[in-house]
Chains A and B, each alone.
Chain A
């Protein structure tokens, strides 16, 4: 099973944390710090697998975000790379060309998507479409409350024009060239 899943930026700021075992706040902070240090120190074209304490660490960089998770001994590291990729795909489908800002401003949605995909450290749903369908249906259940007025200069669920905030690059478009791995 996965022990934890962390998302952090290239500056080491945490964007999402999911813990699949009970961990004290202090221990959480320690793990986050160590993961951030270890992963950010890795040179660009290195192996995506690390060893830390008794866990295997798998990390992958998508544009400006690092996705990092801790596995137990029995788990398949290559499959976990696929898990991370699937999560990014799900985010991309939901937000439409997702980038880091989406995850910052809509972190609770990122959690909801994650909870439809993983549970208890295991994969919950292997179908690409089922998660998206579940999210849509859940949204319809939400009571109609006036949505917050879209704040100026940030974006809502639409596509982010690259000219506005050039440093937040679209995560998905970088997938094709990232880290030397080739995807579909």
Chain B
């Protein structure tokens, strides 16, 4: 075994290692030697070995095998061994380790040691890593030491008591009497410790807080003494006498004066004095002033004092030192709600700080600027914010954009300005905006009816310039689809109109569709916009038809489904196309809390699940569906009233895709013809109709509707169905089992068929009911199903 080297020698050797591997080798050898030494009897080098181990630990290597050695060294009678042992305990042990309990006894003994330096070691260690049990054990000792005559011990005991109170708050009561008497000490160290202890006690216990309010005059006296005292070489820092103690006292006065008139009054004078007399040319003075300002703003101070405080912060804002500017903005942020006008006066300086090089200062300036936005300054402030956005660091961009949007929403002086601002943000930082921006912007555009022409021209220009920013492209596509006719008309009052041909517009949309930069959602937007244009342009409908049919075999399922359905719209439902693709009415701004929740009425409940799935698939076309379904149920010819629940359904799940263009559309649309339904059973006045809601290659959803034209109601209606073997059948709960008489109501039941093997679908339905006290039971066979509603 190599003889152990001295600590400094070892450090030199480790530092001399040229590679990480070499270092590891040296350290492994040393640790082995140390471990061996630990196992041996006491040979006078134990403290050196532990010190070596602590160095190795600091480099990041494991050192847990030294824990027991720490315990042993702490118990040693030699001071230097105790010292290193306690240091090791603070570095290697914490309250989670079991070994920490073993030193409790040693600490207890050392707290009563004759030498104050041994006592201080124990106090320091207890105050650093004492666990709750250790604290409980030793608290009476600490209390005793608080009353000792030795200042050196008293100050350490005070901070040790602080640690105990933090770990075991109930023990606070134990220390309250002693801490009160410590306030009359002259020694600054003890005084400081006492103030910290009292602060901790008051923060945790409101009754103690009440008690210590009586100490406010005493504290004011101490503070005055510090401020007015002459030069003291021991405590002087840059012309301030003991700034550490001053700041602590101010903090305690803040806690005592909060929400209390009397205490606040007592300190008003003092605060004014400190605020005016403190020299803030160096950091120490600024620290004291800063604490003073915080105290003034937090207690019930008189208004003159508050104004003084805000002015001090304003002065700080103009300081050359970045730290002080940062501090002042942090404080202004805290008071901007309560003293808004006072802070507004410094708006100019704050906005200038947006241009500072330092990232921390920029961040603070941004937060403060956003808090200062008001209806009065919105235009000028927004200019600055937009300028900031173009050059701001990437980590701040998301925050900036959402802040700008909030501000614009609350204080926009005009709709055009609002739209312009949002477009500006999207062009500059479109990648960092939140998802709701797209639907919000679309909703905003639809409400600004006079600006449709202007908006679509602007967006078209933006689109042909750059298609990489997804949010902007989505909004642009939506607008072009919706207002394409305004674009093609080529005239606009508000802005220079773009002279485009239909081909150009379709080119632009196709570029978006084909670009690899476009996200799937964006391509969905583009496809739907292309489709919408088929009713707004005159010449190139064939081109649109071909685009749509190409995407019918797209790999993306969403796009494929859309394309297939649009294709069907061209082929089979061409007569409906114009109505389906009509201009959207104005969208209501509804809160995001309403999603597909409540159904508007019992009879629609059945329709909800199928309708909802349809909505998610075809966000652009729901008007038609909803209209049809309601038509079926209502049985009347006029457009049904939009129900609020229905109208708010869509914002939730489809926000990232269609965004906002759903709800409340039933107003202006034509009533489209009822989808075909087949009567499968008619007997005894009971009619059973079958309607196909959805049909795919591997399944379908049908709805069976039973009506009653007799004079008396039909009761106990049950429907049962049977299907070929490979087909799976699921019958949803019926809406009821009683059919009112005279056709005044009906019972519906949805049936889901899953046909994975694609056999020809047949279904046998058994109808059971009680009519005029007769129980009837019939079976019908259904061989062919009507084509789906859409």
Which residues of A approach B to under 8 Å, CB–CB? 14-17, 20, 22-24, 29, 43, 45-51, 74, 76-79, 81-83, 85-86, 104-105, 107-108, 111-112, 115, 119-120, 122-130, 134, 137-138, 141-143, 145, 148-149, 151, 154, 180-184
CA distance A48 to B192 in the complex (A): 26
Given A76-B287, A119-B124, A141-B117: A151 touches B322 (CB 8 Å cut-off): no
CA distance A32 to B408 in the complex (A): 41
The minimal Cβ–Cβ distance linking A164 to chain B, given in whole angstroms, is 14
CA distance A154 to B7 in the complex (A): 13
Q: Are B359 and A14 in contact (CB under 8 A)?
A: no
Given A82-B284, A148-B6: A107 touches B189 (CB 8 Å cut-off): no
Residue of A nearest to B287 (CB): A78
Residue of A nearest to B44 (CB): A145
**B42 interface residue per 8 A CB criterion:** no
Q: Which residues of A are found within 8 Å of B282, using beta-carbon distances?
A: 182-184
Chain A to chain B contacts (Cβ below 8 Å), 18 pairs: A22-B94, A43-B358, A45-B357, A78-B290, A82-B284, A85-B283, A105-B8, A108-B84, A119-B124, A119-B156, A122-B159, A122-B196, A124-B159, A126-B188, A126-B235, A128-B235, A141-B117, A151-B8
Stretch at the interface among B53-61, B600-608, B743-751: B53-61
The minimal Cβ–Cβ distance linking B293 to chain A, given in whole angstroms, is 11
Q: Are B80 and A142 in contact (CB under 8 A)?
A: yes
CA distance A107 to B192 in the complex (A): 27
Q: Is the interface of A mostly helix, strand, loop or mixed?
A: mixed
Q: Which residues of A are found within 8 Å of B166, using beta-carbon distances?
A: 120
Report which of B15, B247, B361 forms a contact with A47, defined as CB distance below 8 A.
B361
Q: Which residues of B are found within 8 Å of A76, using beta-carbon distances?
A: 247, 251, 287, 290-291
Q: Are A124 and B189 in contact (CB under 8 A)?
A: yes
Report which of A120, A141, A148, A149 forms a contact with B163, defined as CB distance below 8 A.
A120
The minimal Cβ–Cβ distance linking B46 to chain A, given in whole angstroms, is 11
**B129 interface residue per 8 A CB criterion:** yes
Report which of A108, A115, A180 forms a contact with B51, defined as CB distance below 8 A.
A108
CA distance A128 to B326 in the complex (A): 29
Residue of B nearest to A14 (CB): B58
Q: Which residues of A are found within 8 Å of B361, using beta-carbon distances?
A: 47
CA distance A127 to B87 in the complex (A): 23
Q: Are B323 and A77 in contact (CB under 8 A)?
A: yes
Q: Are A111 and B87 in contact (CB under 8 A)?
A: yes
Q: Are B360 and A46 in contact (CB under 8 A)?
A: yes
Q: Are A81 and B323 in contact (CB under 8 A)?
A: yes
Residue among A76, A119, A145 having the largest count of chain B Cβ atoms under 10 Å:
A119
Contacts A50-B360, A123-B244, A183-B238 given; 16 further ones with Cβ under 8 A? A14-B58, A43-B358, A47-B323, A51-B363, A76-B290, A77-B323, A78-B286, A81-B287, A105-B11, A107-B54, A112-B87, A124-B155, A124-B193, A126-B192, A134-B152, A183-B282
Q: Which residues of B are found within 8 Å of A107, using beta-carbon distances?
A: 54-55, 58
Q: Are A108 and B78 in contact (CB under 8 A)?
A: no
Q: Are A126 and B9 in contact (CB under 8 A)?
A: no
Q: Are B327 and A78 in contact (CB under 8 A)?
A: yes
Interface string of B1-13 (1 = CB under 8 A from A): 0000011110110
Q: Are A29 and B60 in contact (CB under 8 A)?
A: yes
The minimal Cβ–Cβ distance linking A137 to chain B, given in whole angstroms, is 7
Q: Are A82 and B243 in contact (CB under 8 A)?
A: yes
Q: Are B80 and A123 in contact (CB under 8 A)?
A: no
Q: Are A79 and B358 in contact (CB under 8 A)?
A: no
Q: Which residues of B are found within 8 Å of A82, using beta-carbon distances?
A: 237, 243-244, 283-284, 287
Q: Are A128 and B192 in contact (CB under 8 A)?
A: no
The minimal Cβ–Cβ distance linking A71 to chain B, given in whole angstroms, is 12
Report which of B12, B55, B127, B247 forms a contact with A151, defined as CB distance below 8 A.
B12
- B115-135 contacts to A (CB < 8 Å): 115, 117, 123-124, 127-129
Q: Are B8 and A120 in contact (CB under 8 A)?
A: no
Q: Are B324 and A78 in contact (CB under 8 A)?
A: yes
**B245 interface residue per 8 A CB criterion:** yes
Residue of A nearest to B88 (CB): A108
Q: Are B54 and A127 in contact (CB under 8 A)?
A: no
CA distance A127 to B55 in the complex (A): 30
Q: Which residues of A are found within 8 Å of B286, using beta-carbon distances?
A: 78
CA distance A145 to B290 in the complex (A): 50
Q: Are B360 and A47 in contact (CB under 8 A)?
A: yes
Residue among A81, A124, A154 having the largest count of chain B Cβ atoms under 10 Å:
A124
Cβ-closest 8 pairs across A and B? A78-B287, A148-B6, A79-B287, A47-B322, A47-B360, A120-B163, A119-B159, A142-B80
- B98-143 contacts to A (CB < 8 Å): 115, 117, 123-124, 127-129
Residue of A nearest to B236 (CB): A128
Q: Which residues of B are found within 8 Å of A47, using beta-carbon distances?
A: 322-323, 325-326, 358, 360-361
Q: Which residues of B are found within 8 Å of A29, using beta-carbon distances?
A: 60
The minimal Cβ–Cβ distance linking B76 to chain A, given in whole angstroms, is 11
Q: Which residues of B are found within 8 Å of A127, using beta-carbon distances?
A: 188-189, 234-235
The minimal Cβ–Cβ distance linking A117 to chain B, given in whole angstroms, is 10
The minimal Cβ–Cβ distance linking B736 to chain A, given in whole angstroms, is 57
CA distance A141 to B79 in the complex (A): 7
Residue among A79, A129, A142 having the largest count of chain B Cβ atoms under 10 Å:
A79
**B339 interface residue per 8 A CB criterion:** no
Q: Are A120 and B128 in contact (CB under 8 A)?
A: yes
Q: Are A120 and B287 in contact (CB under 8 A)?
A: no
CA distance A24 to B196 in the complex (A): 27
**B661 interface residue per 8 A CB criterion:** no
The minimal Cβ–Cβ distance linking B281 to chain A, given in whole angstroms, is 9
Q: Which residues of A are found within 8 Å of B90, using beta-carbon distances?
A: 115
**B321 interface residue per 8 A CB criterion:** yes
Q: Which residues of A are found within 8 Å of B291, using beta-carbon distances?
A: 76, 79
CA distance A125 to B153 in the complex (A): 12
The minimal Cβ–Cβ distance linking B188 to chain A, given in whole angstroms, is 5
Given A82-B287, A151-B9: A77 touches B44 (CB 8 Å cut-off): no
The minimal Cβ–Cβ distance linking B74 to chain A, given in whole angstroms, is 15
Report which of B11, B115, B243, B326 forms a contact with A141, defined as CB distance below 8 A.
B115
CA distance A46 to B361 in the complex (A): 9
- B149-177 contacts to A (CB < 8 Å): 152, 155-156, 159-160, 162-163, 166
CA distance A182 to B84 in the complex (A): 37
The minimal Cβ–Cβ distance linking A16 to chain B, given in whole angstroms, is 8
CA distance A92 to B87 in the complex (A): 21
CA distance A16 to B128 in the complex (A): 16
Q: Are A143 and B12 in contact (CB under 8 A)?
A: no
Given A47-B323, A141-B115, A143-B78: A126 touches B87 (CB 8 Å cut-off): no
